[in-house]
Amino acid sequence: MYCILKGDGCAEKQEFVKQWSHDYHDNPHVSGIFFDHLDLDQDGCLTQTDIDFNFRAMDAHGDHSVTEAEFASFLSAVHPSSTGGSSVVG
């Protein structure tokens, strides 16, 4: 996710959506909703501050590293395609 932040330290929504859709094969609509979850101050720009807050949310064990499992459980909490949808549970 860090590589999305370009030289100006700001990933705009369309920039993020394009990159995320490419890397994770989500459709752009889903990626856009996901961006809104990550952009905590809602300024339409994903910055280091947003990333830091999200990183802390991901790092369930507080060991300052985010494992694939932690990233996956973070995704399942905030990613629109994994909440609701076709699931009959809950």
Question: Judged by CB under 5 A, how many residues of this single chain contact Ca ion?
Answer: 9
Of 64 and 84, which has the nearer Cβ to Ca ion?
64
* Cα 68 → chain centroid: 13
**Interaction with Ca ion in 11-70: which residues (CB under 5 A)?**
39, 41, 43, 45, 50, 59, 61, 63, 65
Please say whether the dihedral angle defined by the alpha carbons of residues 11, 9, 51 and 63, taken in this order, is positive or negative: positive
> Coil, strand, or helix at residue 12?
strand
Chain contacts with Ca ion (rule: CB under 5 A): 39, 41, 43, 45, 50, 59, 61, 63, 65
